[in-house]
């Protein structure tokens, strides 16, 4: 096939030769991903420390700040087709919707957590990730933000006289 676009020429690879996740959305942002990996937030570091333990215990290999298509996922496990996104105080919900739809089109499930959820409900967040990976059964329901406790009975007994 002389002259075919499918041949690698001078180190260039045709888009059809790339995996689907690298083809669909556009350019790969390697430099930005590297910069984000080198400057993680406190909660990214904490979650990354825990996700790394899953490789030995369950054979699940997570990558952090991984470019997938034209987006960068905070954490990704290609084997489980799972993306974990942490939302800090400055995120744009409109872009989140577009990104999640793109990941779904590429065959990935997306779990999204706020930094507050990690700070206040670490065990529940971990349980939800384990549940999504099929390795945990501690989760009784979907992750919800802490609700204020219901008030107890009044000290005088309250209610009817």
pLDDT in tens, 99-124: 899 999 999 999 999 988 899 999 99
**By residue range, what is the domain housing residue 70?**
42-133
pLDDT class of 145 with cuts at 50, 70, 90 = very low
Residues of the chain with pLDDT > 70: what percent?
A: 65
pLDDT class of 159 with cuts at 50, 70, 90 = low
What one-character-per-residue DSSP string does 53-88 give?
A: HHHHHH----EEEEEETTEEEEEEETTTTEEEEEE-
Does 19 reside within a domain? no
Does 159 reside within a domain? no
Residue of 127, 133, 75 lying closest to 103 (CA atoms): 75
pLDDT given for residue 61 in this prediction: 92
Does 88 reside within a domain? yes
pLDDT class of 10 with cuts at 50, 70, 90 = very low
Phi, psi of 83 (to 5 degrees): -115, 135
Does 115 reside within a domain? yes
Residue of 136, 21, 18 lying closest to 78 (CA atoms): 21
pLDDT given for residue 4 in this prediction: 43
Q: How many domains does the chain have?
A: 1
pLDDT given for residue 151 in this prediction: 52
The burial class, CB within 10 Å (0-12 / 13-18 / 19+), for 67 is buried
Distances 26 to 46, 79, 120, 148 between C-alpha atoms, Å: 31, 22, 37, 44
pLDDT at 147 over 50: no
pLDDT given for residue 94 in this prediction: 81
pLDDT in tens, 48-70: 999 999 888 889 999 998 888 88
- What's 115's domain CATH number? 3.40.960.10
Residue of 98, 66, 97 lying closest to 81 (CA atoms): 66
Does 47 reside within a domain? yes
| Selected residue with higher pLDDT from 16 and 156 | 156
pLDDT given for residue 43 in this prediction: 87
pLDDT at 7 over 50: no
Does 156 reside within a domain? no
Does 71 reside within a domain? yes
Q: Regarding beta strands 82-87 and 109-114, do their DSSP bridges make them parallel or antiparallel, or are they unpaired? A: parallel
Does 79 reside within a domain? yes
């Amino acid at each position: 096939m002389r002259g075919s676009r499918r041949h690698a020429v001078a180190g260039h690879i045709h888009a059809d030769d790339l995996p689907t996740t690298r083809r669909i959305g556009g350019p790969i942002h390697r430099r930005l991903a590297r910069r984000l990996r080198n400057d993680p937030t406190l909660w990214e570091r904490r979650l990354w420390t825990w996700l790394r333990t899953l490789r030995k215990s369950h054979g699940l290999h997570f990558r952090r700040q991984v470019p997938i298509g034209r987006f960068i996922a905070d954490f990704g496990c290609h084997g489980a087709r799972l993306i974990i996104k942490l939302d800090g105080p400055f995120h744009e919900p409109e872009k989140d919707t577009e990104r999640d739809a793109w990941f779904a089109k590429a065959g990935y499930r997306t779990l999204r957590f706020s930094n507050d959820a990690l700070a206040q409900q670490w065990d529940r967040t971990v349980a939800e990730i384990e549940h999504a990976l099929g390795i945990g059964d501690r989760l009784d329901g979907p992750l919800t933000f802490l609700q204020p406790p219901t008030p107890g009975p009044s000290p005088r007994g309250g209610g009817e006289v």
